[in-house]
Amino acid sequence: MRIRASTRARLRTALLVAIALLFALSIPWYRPNGSEAAMWLGVPDWVVVALACYVAAAVLNAWAWLLTDVRDDGPAGGRGG
């Protein structure tokens, strides 16, 4: 199944926006000052949230790269083969 170039571009842009939002969400700025951190899997809850955001961002980044057309114009430096 082929996806049109315009659809691929819009999807890639949406993925990049989602990645930026995940990075913003990974920062524990939403926690109130002096609040006690709950422990999940032996680490504070904000660490688990940050790691989950980073993993999700990596997956979305890989998907965005799969949608990107990379041109290969030949060897670097103009050397022919």
Q: What pLDDT is stored for residue 77 in this prediction?
A: 60
pLDDT at 80 over 60: no
pLDDT at 78 over 70: no
Q: Per residue in 19-76, pLDDT tens?
A: 999 999 999 887 888 888 889 889 998 899 999 999 999 999 999 988 887 777 767 6
Of 50, 53, 45, nearest to 22 by C-alpha is 53
26-29-30 Cα angle (round to 5): 95
Q: What pLDDT is stored for residue 37 in this prediction?
A: 83
DSSP code of residue 73: -
Q: What pLDDT is stored for residue 42 in this prediction?
A: 92
